[in-house]
Structure 1
């Protein structure tokens, strides 16, 4: 499985199991989607960048950057910022990522509040992970 997909699944699973977050955003509104949302409030996953960090005969290491988009329908930013804060609280420095080990840690790098022309609340939470996929050496 690609490292960004594996990380996205781990983040999704963590977010939908965080009661303080799902009190603000229904779990079914936390998903992978590329367009402006239709259901509010919501969190959109999927924007990612994978950068190769190094490769040996038995391991492949990458740094994955991912943005989580927190949306509210109201024009005020306070509700979107509250959702972003609960996203940060739900994501620990250690995550279980299927097929990968964290090399170093998992970080929530920060967040950006954006003005939307249709007056939606929109905050982007940026995360970063150093990951290693262990492969078997061929004899």
Structure 2
């Protein structure tokens, strides 16, 4: 399995297993899909970028930037920011389990932006989760 797919699956598993997240967003509204979300609120697992860290000649270290989108129909950005804070706390709960052959050496919420959607009714949070993944060869 690719490192970015393993990260995405582990990230969703962590979010749906974290009561502070599911208190704000139902587990069935934590999604991986291409079209604009219908449920409100929802979390959409988004795009990824993999970058070779260049830290070893074996090329086993990859930094992955995973975008997570938060959507909330609300009159302010308060709910979106609360969901972002819950995601940050979920990431701090321990390293993500990526399965055999991969090790998540570090993960963090490295950036978050909260935007007012042009529809005038929706907050759109764009969060970047950064993870350092090591191929273990197992």
TM-score (norm 2): 0.88
Aligned to 2:78: 78
Residue 131 (structure 2) pairs with residue 129 (structure 1):
yes
- What is the alpha-carbon distance in structure 2 between the residues aligned to residue 89 and residue 102 of structure 1? 17
Partner of 1:95: 96
Equivalent residue pairs, number: 134
Looking at structure 1, the residues matched to 108 and 48 of structure 2 have their Cα atoms a distance apart, in angstroms, of 14
Q: Structure 1: which 4+ aligned runs deviate by more than 3 Å? A: 54-57
* Worse overlay, 6-15 or 70-79: 70-79
What TM-score do the two structures reach when normalised by structure 1? 0.87
Instruction: Name the structure 1 match of 2:51.
Output: 51
- Bigger Cα Rg: 1
- Partner of residue 106, structure 1: 107
Q: After superposition, what is the alpha-carbon deviation per residue over 1:34-67, rounded to whole angstroms, capped at 9, x for unaligned?
A: 221111100000211011224645x622110011
> 5+ unaligned residues in a row in structure 1: which ranges?
none
What's 1:22 paired with? 22
C-alpha RMSD over aligned residues: 1.7
